[in-house]
Amino acid sequence: MKLSFVKTMCLASAFRGFYSPLPTDLGLGTFHSLTPLYTFPFHSSSSSTSAHTHQDASLRSKFNSASFRDVDDALASFNHIILMHPLPSRVQFNLFLSALVRMKQYHIVIPLSRTIESLEISNDTYSLNILINCFCRLHHVDFGFSIFGKILKLGLQPSIVTFSTLINGLCMEGKINGAIDFFNHMVERGYQPNVLTYSAIVNGLCKCGNTNGAIGLLKKMVERGCKPNVVTYNAIIDALCKGKLFAEAVNLLSQMKDKGISPNVITYNCLIHCLCNLGKQNQALALWKEMVGHKILPDIFTFNILLDSLCKEGLLLEAQSTIKIMIQRGVEPDVFTYSSLIKGYCLHSQVDRALALLYEMVGQNMSPNVYNFSILIDSLFKEGMVSKVQDIVNLMVQKGIKPNVVTYNSLVDGYCMHSQMDEARKIFDLMVSSGIADVLSYSILINGYCKSKWIDEAMKLFDEMPHKGLVPDSATYNTLIQGLWEAGRRQAALDFCKNMHYHGHQPDIITFSILLNGLCKQGDLDEALIIFKAMETSRFKPDCVIYNILIDGMCKVGKLNNAYELFSRLIRKGIKPNVCIYTTIIKGLCNERLLDEAYKVFREMEGGGCLPDERCYNVIIQGFLKHENVVKASQLIDEMVDKGFSADATTAELVIHLSLSDDLILRKLRNRSGGSKSVNVK
């Protein structure tokens, strides 16, 4: 029998002072000033008016039934009732405290219990169980065990509720081993666990990631003759769903139904959320319909789960329909509902709608959160609606919403995006003076300076970081290396790369791509290949981006054979070329007048499961047009238009040039590309 935990937490606590010391974070300071500690040696029995008698009777009736409007009403009733004679019984006080527990006023119940005890109303197991529950709900299970010790010291008998509440408290604080130890101690003392006890342990095991242990306990529970309820099953179904084990969750649901236990809204919410996370929106909607068909009413969580998923997938019309159904069913949208829609509209470039929703929230006296404002600010900048950003910032201030580091970073990034470096610097300096600028804040402004060719300012900012206690990360280094290359400072970029390694930051795949791209643009293929070979032996294996940079560099300096060999090596290594690599090699072949080889590669890419995109079609069509192969170009134009792609400006110019001698292609484009989004051929 393991008694180390039990002795420490239970038996020894029997001799510890129950209320002293109380935890300092229960929020009791204000309450002590509201509810005095009354101690009366006797109660007045003088006569009163009939009005007072009626009022007292009414008050007693309310107190005895524990029917209070709200917390203030309950406290006012308590302050009056303890002045009356006779005092309510312990049972009536217990009903009163239970009413406050139902209102989640745990921090108020604790000092009130002390006041009741001072009135010489003896505690019973029920009243002390209430206190244990309050301490556990306030995440002070150790004080709950003090009350358990008091139960033992007073010679009272703990009930199964006592044990279940403490076990739940331990699980709430993640002390699952202690909960299991105490559970075993309870069984050894002859207490038979009930469904609440088992459910608490099952839930604790699930929260700690031991879902298999929870399933094992569920089986033992049934074997011991204790019937699980929907709460027990929901804990495991939720854990399985969070692990994306949908099939296993559905299997458990079937077992649950076979035992005659009906799923509730929480069960369906877990399953719907899992399907949404797996990207299976249609199945989630089908499950929602099944839920409604079983007369289980969706709640705000059900609707919010669906809405968030639909918005992320860009299914905004479906999201709007869901909102209408939600309102028709009497479920009012909350902040999360609006947040999902605002994010959805922003992600899919419908910022005007997102703005309208924000103002709708404000009009309904619903306070938007800092996340809503931050994503809107970011989207307004991306859509070029810079003038409206200040309106949103002003609204934030008006609503008392304090910008966080994400909001400030969005502002700095947005102003940098629109080359308003002075505005970006003002916001950044405000962040620094407030002590909230982080590594990302510096990286954003450094990137802005690099894009504006203010490299020296970027370097100054980088040098400032260590003095602010910030360590640049790989993204910061990569930003500066890129900026130095683009500013033509090749040696500085290479030196900076060495500096990066010296300070403990290993170059990553992005660093290598920046260096290779810079070297290839300067035609220094020998140096680029040295770095490439070093990559092949490092933990950073070249990806499609790296191969494309090298193949493009080789093609541009006329080393087509080397480019084609590298392309072939890529395939031999089992790396599947993407459309960018195919387009690059096709363009290189076309430039060398190797049109048959280019066409062969073009067809091979389709056979390999890589479909040509609009740019790829334009590249090969231009190759045939430049070498006046009108028939093949015409065939490819037919194919391109059939797939919904359009001619770009270069293709159109070549078509117009060739149409002076043969207007076949021009007529074809005029007839078939009326919906062209790239160029209007006239």
Q: How far is Cα 56 from Cα 47, in angstroms, rounded to an integer?
A: 12
CA-wise closest residue to 93 among 73, 113, 75, 70: 113
Mean pLDDT score, 617-642: 89
* 3-class DSSP state of 27: coil
The Cα-based distances of 318 to 267, 448, 674 in angstroms read 23, 38, 31
The two tokens of residue 12 are: 């020894």
The Cα-based distances of 528 to 203, 490, 580 in angstroms read 57, 13, 20
The two tokens of residue 682 are: 């006239």
The pLDDT score that the predictor gives to residue 608 is 81
Secondary structure string (H, E, C) spanning 99-157 = HHHHCCCHHHHHHHHHHHHHCCCCCCHHHHHHHHHHHHHCCCHHHHHHHHHHHHHCCCC
The two tokens of residue 352 are: 């005007």
Confidence of residue 366 (pLDDT cuts 50, 70, 90): confident
Q: How far is Cα 600 from Cα 607, in angstroms, rounded to an integer?
A: 11
User: For residue 273, what are the contacts with CB-CB under 8 A and spacing of at least 6?
Assistant: 241, 305
- Res. 384: pLDDT tops 90: yes
Least confident of 44-48, 337-341, 505-509, 596-600: 44-48
43 versus 632: the higher-pLDDT residue is: 632
Mean pLDDT score, 40-68: 60
- Res. 45: pLDDT tops 90: no
Q: How far is Cα 169 from Cα 197, in angstroms, rounded to an integer?
A: 11
The vertex-163 CA angle with 160 and 166, nearest 5°, equals 145
The two tokens of residue 202 are: 């099952």
Q: How far is Cα 332 from Cα 30, in angstroms, rounded to an integer?
A: 34
Least confident of 334-338, 342-346, 540-544: 540-544
- Res. 389: pLDDT tops 60: yes
Residue 253 carries which DSSP code? H
Least confident of 345-349, 458-462, 486-490, 666-670: 666-670
417 versus 25: the higher-pLDDT residue is: 417
The pLDDT score that the predictor gives to residue 42 is 36
Give the tens place of pLDDT for each residue, 531-586. 898 888 877 788 899 999 999 999 999 899 999 999 988 888 888 899 999 999 99
The pLDDT score that the predictor gives to residue 41 is 36
Q: How far apart are the first and last CA of the chain?
A: 91
The pLDDT score that the predictor gives to residue 679 is 41
The pLDDT score that the predictor gives to residue 162 is 94
Give the tens place of pLDDT for each residue, 509-524. 899 999 999 999 888 9
Least confident of 263-267, 551-555, 658-662: 658-662
**Percent of the chain beyond pLDDT 90?**
60
* Segment (H or E) for 646: none
Question: Is residue 395 within 8 Å of 362, Cβ to Cβ?
Answer: yes
Q: How far is Cα 183 from Cα 163, in angstroms, rounded to an integer?
A: 8
Q: How many other C-beta atoms lie within 10 A of the C-beta of residue 606?
A: 11
Give the tens place of pLDDT for each residue, 212-239. 999 999 999 999 999 999 999 999 999 9
The pLDDT score that the predictor gives to residue 38 is 37
Q: How far is Cα 349 from Cα 351, in angstroms, rounded to an integer?
A: 6
- Res. 619: pLDDT tops 50: yes
Q: How many other C-beta atoms lie within 10 A of the C-beta of residue 517?
A: 21
Confidence of residue 599 (pLDDT cuts 50, 70, 90): very high
655 versus 665: the higher-pLDDT residue is: 655
| Residue carrying the six token digits 């244990």 | 132
Least confident of 365-369, 591-595, 652-656: 652-656
CA-wise closest residue to 146 among 32, 22, 1, 4: 22
Q: How far is Cα 68 from Cα 74, in angstroms, rounded to an integer?
A: 6
User: For residue 394, what are the contacts with CB-CB under 8 A and spacing of at least 6?
Assistant: none
The pLDDT score that the predictor gives to residue 503 is 81
Give the tens place of pLDDT for each residue, 23-37. 444 444 433 333 433
Confidence of residue 669 (pLDDT cuts 50, 70, 90): low
The vertex-531 CA angle with 528 and 533, nearest 5°, equals 110
The pLDDT score that the predictor gives to residue 356 is 92
Task: Please tell me the pTM assigned to this model.
Answer: 0.70
Mean pLDDT score, 351-357: 93
Residue 574 carries which DSSP code? T
Amino acid present at 304: N
Confidence of residue 663 (pLDDT cuts 50, 70, 90): low
Q: How far is Cα 122 from Cα 117, in angstroms, rounded to an integer?
A: 6
Q: How far is Cα 173 from Cα 94, in angstroms, rounded to an integer?
A: 26
Confidence of residue 55 (pLDDT cuts 50, 70, 90): low
Question: Is residue 351 within 8 Å of 389, Cβ to Cβ?
Answer: no
The pLDDT score that the predictor gives to residue 95 is 93
Q: How far is Cα 109 from Cα 296, in angstroms, rounded to an integer?
A: 35
Characterise 419 by phi-psi region: left (phi > 0), alpha (psi -120 to 50), beta (else).
left
The Cα-based distances of 588 to 193, 269, 542, 614, 639 in angstroms read 76, 54, 21, 17, 22
Confidence of residue 53 (pLDDT cuts 50, 70, 90): low
Least confident of 34-38, 116-120, 462-466, 498-502: 34-38
Give the tens place of pLDDT for each residue, 279-321. 898 899 899 999 999 999 999 999 999 999 999 888 899 898 8
Instruction: Give burial (CB, 10 Å; 0-12/13-18/19+) of 553.
Output: buried
The vertex-401 CA angle with 398 and 407, nearest 5°, equals 115
Mean pLDDT score, 80-88: 87
Question: Is residue 175 within 8 Å of 168, Cβ to Cβ?
Answer: no
Mean pLDDT score, 81-90: 88
Mean pLDDT score, 613-640: 90
Secondary structure string (H, E, C) spanning 322-333 = HHHHHHHCCCCC
The pLDDT score that the predictor gives to residue 6 is 44
SS3 content of the chain, % helix, strand, coil (to 5): 70, 0, 30
CA-wise closest residue to 601 among 567, 648, 633: 567
Name the average pLDDT for the chain. Answer: 86
The pLDDT score that the predictor gives to residue 32 is 37
The pLDDT score that the predictor gives to residue 541 is 82
Angle between helices 509-521 and 490-502 (to 10 degrees): 160
The two tokens of residue 485 are: 């290359």
Mean pLDDT score, 234-259: 95
Q: How many other C-beta atoms lie within 10 A of the C-beta of residue 217?
A: 22
Question: Is residue 509 within 8 Å of 543, Cβ to Cβ?
Answer: yes
